[in-house]
Amino acid sequence: MPTAILSALPQEQSGLLAQLVQPQHLQHAGRSVWCGTLHGQSVVLALSGIGKVAAATTATALIERFGVARIVFTGVAGGVGTDVQVGDVVVAQDYVQHDMDASPLFARWELPGYGRQRLACDAALSALLLEAACACVSMAGCRFGLKYQAGHPRVHHGLVASGDRFVASAHEAQGLRAALLTAGHEVLAVEMEGAAVAQVCHDYGLPFAAVRTISDRADDSAHLDFPQFVRTVASRYAELIVQGLLQKL
């Protein structure tokens, strides 16, 4: 059973695709999927597109159509934690949907039918991913994206928030973080897909883990140099971290 590597954008896994052995390209449910071997492991590389619904559709297809054993999401995110900076790497411990609000029927952020606000990633798979991320950052140092980083990149492990909104103002990012923190949710990063994949994997009982490179601080400069950052920094980290993970499986 293959390992699925899922990303929202093609640039986020371009390095992985270039290394794929005996690649086979397929189109399924409107998604671009590549099957093959990577570092001795059977893998499926898939692009979800942007947003929670697109990510959930893709995750379901990977499970139902391709019979994957686990799903690993790699891509970029906006940093909202106080010590999370551009160029850092965040390995998700669990997820919250920051735009989920079915109140007054349910508490804000609670997933109806689940009785909880947060969904955990698979502990064992996340531990391996965290080891791979730490090894990558230690090895790579500041070779990638020197102009983006204020200091040596760091690896963080904790809560990530997803929602169908690109957070691109300091005011919104601060408000989002403060509201969640008041409820006991200390969020490190914000993106648009991971929580949906976590929910699908929870429903199917499939291991899920996610790693995100911080491309911006989810503020007014979030759009600046984004394509170049993804191409020169995030894709390189994804390539090395996934390599490290696959070698540990």
Residues catalogued as catalytic: 12, 216
17: phi then psi, degrees, rounded to nearest 5? -65, -35
DSSP 103: T
DSSP annotation string for 73-94: EEEEEEE-STT--TT-EEEEEE
In the block, tokens 């891509």 appear at 75
Q: Which residues pair with 216 in a beta bridge?
A: 78
Rounded Cα gap, residues 90 and 12, in angstroms: 15
Rounded Cα gap, residues 6 and 21, in angstroms: 17
Rounded Cα gap, residues 151 and 135, in angstroms: 17
CB 214 within 8 A of CB 78: yes
CA-wise closest residue to 210 among 93, 132, 109: 93
At residue 14, the 3 state secondary structure works out as: helix
Q: Could you tell me the CA-to-CA distances from 18 to 75, 172, 227 in Å, in that order?
A: 17, 37, 18
Rounded Cα gap, residues 108 and 146, in angstroms: 40
CB 125 within 8 A of CB 92: no
